[in-house]
Structure 1
Amino acid sequence: MTGLPPDRLEWARPGDRTADYCLWDYPPLGPTAGRLRQATLLWQSLAAAGAGPRLHALCDALRAGLGPGQTVWGAKRSGGVTTWEFYFYDYGRLDRSVSVGRVLALLAPFAASPLADPARRPYFMFSLDLDDALAEGRRPLDRINLYIGHPGSSVSSGLSYAYTQEGLAFDNLYAFFDARREMEQVRAKLACSAHLDLPGPSLDALLWPELSRCGVVVVANKRACDGLYFSRITVDQLILFFERLGYPEAVTGFVRDNRRRLDHLLFDVGLDYAMADGRLVVTKSAYYGLL
């Protein structure tokens, strides 16, 4: 049924957290008995990509140290290769309990880091890239992405910075929109892009009608591309996303075969895009869930 070891098939339990990739909670769409957790899709992505046991153990250590439902994972696909980014939230700002220092300590048995804890910076979340090389100690954890609030606008937004030994470098601006009430603002934001030629392609090439019926749309302005995210989509929309972008059958087929076991959940997906030789090209895509 799955291609996963039995211990990696995670069955939902009463009281499980259901939240989107911003760790904003939502009620499950239906009964949870006999259903799967989103963490199962993480294990499936690791298995499909041939990830080693140390990376599995690293994920287990994060959940053991922070608790279930406290970490967001993202499986990113670019050029046929899957990588993973993990996201850590604490909206307490300086009163946070989920800090860079705490996560670095949890990861220390797997990978050393030369980075100091930026404890006095008012970040509300941070993320880092995890892979076999890091889990096996073949590369240091030398970059963390810090996310800072961006008040002063009617649009909810945030800024991300790359934090390395050289300091902070600005990376991305994220703008959040209510998909039901603010689609015209989304279209205006997409059209005002440094990475699209004018006259630009039809925005429907980006704003897929099948996915636009979601909860929240996020537009990101990045250095080498722009990004578009659809938050709180259904499992059927997730399958469509996989199929349209040509995900491996090991991933798409797993979700398709287990659709009924996942239909109590909402999902989040994203894609990066830019112009290449006069065409709109998706350079990377991703899907997200709770660990």
Structure 2
Amino acid sequence: MTGLDPGRLELSAPGDRYADYCLWDYEPVGPTAGRLRQASLLWHSLACAGADPMLFAICDALRDGLGPGRSVWGAKLRDGVTTWEFYFYDYARLDRTVSVERVLAILAPFARCDLRYAGGRPYFMFSLDLDDALARGERSLDRLNIYVGNPGSSVSSGLSYGLTAEGLVFDNLYSFYDAARERDAIAAKAACSAHFDLPGLDLDAILWPELMRCGVVVVANKRRCDGVYFSRVGIDGLIAFLDRLAYPPAIRDFVRSERRRLSHLLFDVGIDYAMIDGRLTVTKSAYYGLL
């Protein structure tokens, strides 16, 4: 599917928020009049994947319920299949207004969720996955990802836990680095992995040179793989990312054709990678935006 209902091509408007996937605000890098919002890429991703119409309704409900610029979406590609993860931040922690309970209440008409998480715990973010199975009622919201801070570390970092019916399990450690000032630390962190042999490790296969001109690099240590995220890349970086990973032609053609109307935005992209049959292999990738 290469087309998209023109009504889903959202034009920017005065007062729009510009923020990265951590909901940290930035100034647009070019004129905004007549340009597109990042939500246009979400709608296009859903359309290209032939997503169930109910997924569009769920996304609309989240924005209507929380307000514009309060949710982050990620279009995740694994083994040729796209799913969508939504991220909800509130750095006020215990004084939060965007809580697990509030988001689950918004989603209740669309999906059952029997999970509960105590509001007295100092999480600053949580996320959940949306897919066709959820939209069709074939599964419930059976997993939440809970993120908490990591005080005392000399590196800005966060911890991620998976919450399911079986309980809470530690998943990931995320470490944040300034891409321009902390190149050596980024390389050292990426090289120090429980999953890879250090001699002969090609760091350029992880820290892609074409994306290292971004603002922030996040290195993630995960249970079964590692990951790296490039935050605040320009439109040409997004195009290079989609091309390198051979995203569906409809996705790449759309972004390339709308390059000018997306050029005022900064984007976030990421990969998970593992050693498979002796080769460093990207096992999952994603690009992110604001809803």
Q: Secondary structure at the match of 1:269?
A: strand
Q: Does 1:13 align with 2:50?
A: no
Q: Secondary structure at the match of 2:199?
A: coil
Asked if the contact 1:89/1:126 (under 8 Å) is kept, the reply is yes
Using the TM superposition, give the Cα deviation of residue 53 of structure 1 relative to its aligned residue in structure 2, in angstroms: 0.7
Using the TM superposition, give the Cα deviation of residue 117 of structure 1 relative to its aligned residue in structure 2, in angstroms: 3.8
Listed as ranges, the matches of 1:57-136 within 5 Å are 57-136=57-136
Using the TM superposition, give the Cα deviation of residue 208 of structure 1 relative to its aligned residue in structure 2, in angstroms: 1.2
Q: What amino acid does structure 2 have at the position aligned with 1:124?
A: F
Q: 1:200 to 1:272 in 2, by over 3 A?
A: farther
Q: Report runs of 4+ in structure 1 exceeding 3 Å deviation.
A: none
Q: In structure 2, what is the equivalent of residue 242 of structure 1? A: 242
Q: Counterparts of 1:240 and 1:210 in 2: how far apart (Å)?
A: 8
Q: Secondary structure at the match of 2:124?
A: strand
Name structure 1 gaps, 5 residues minimum.
none
The two structures, once aligned, show a CA RMSD in angstroms of 0.9
Q: In structure 1, what is the equivalent of residue 199 of structure 2? A: 199
Q: What amino acid does structure 2 have at the position aligned with 1:110?
A: F
Name structure 2 gaps, 5 residues minimum.
none
Q: Counterparts of 2:200 and 2:155 in 1: how far apart (Å)?
A: 24
Asked if the contact 1:191/1:200 (under 8 Å) is kept, the reply is no
Give CA deviations for 1:59-111 in whole Å, capped at 9, x if unaligned. 00000000011100000001111111000000010100000000000000000
Deviating more after overlay: 73-82 vs 132-141? 132-141
Q: In structure 2, what is the equivalent of residue 184 of structure 1? A: 184
Q: Counterparts of 2:200 and 2:13 in 1: how far apart (Å)?
A: 47
Q: TM-score, normalised by structure 2?
A: 0.98
Q: Counterparts of 2:271 and 2:86 in 1: how far apart (Å)?
A: 17
Q: In structure 1, what is the equivalent of residue 35 of structure 2? A: 35
Q: Counterparts of 1:3 and 1:186 in 2: how far apart (Å)?
A: 40
Using the TM superposition, give the Cα deviation of residue 6 of structure 1 relative to its aligned residue in structure 2, in angstroms: 1.9
Give CA deviations for 1:242-287 in whole Å, capped at 9, x if unaligned. 0011001110110000000000000000000011111111101100
Asked if the contact 1:197/1:275 (under 8 Å) is kept, the reply is no
Q: Counterparts of 1:233 and 1:174 in 2: how far apart (Å)?
A: 19
Q: In structure 2, what is the equivalent of residue 213 of structure 1? A: 213
Using the TM superposition, give the Cα deviation of residue 41 of structure 1 relative to its aligned residue in structure 2, in angstroms: 0.2
Q: Does 1:141 align with 2:137?
A: no
Q: Counterparts of 1:76 and 1:49 in 2: how far apart (Å)?
A: 11
Q: Counterparts of 2:241 and 2:91 in 1: how far apart (Å)?
A: 30
Asked if the contact 2:191/2:201 (under 8 Å) is kept, the reply is no
Q: Secondary structure at the match of 2:210?
A: helix
Using the TM superposition, give the Cα deviation of residue 58 of structure 1 relative to its aligned residue in structure 2, in angstroms: 0.4
Q: Counterparts of 1:115 and 1:153 in 2: how far apart (Å)?
A: 30
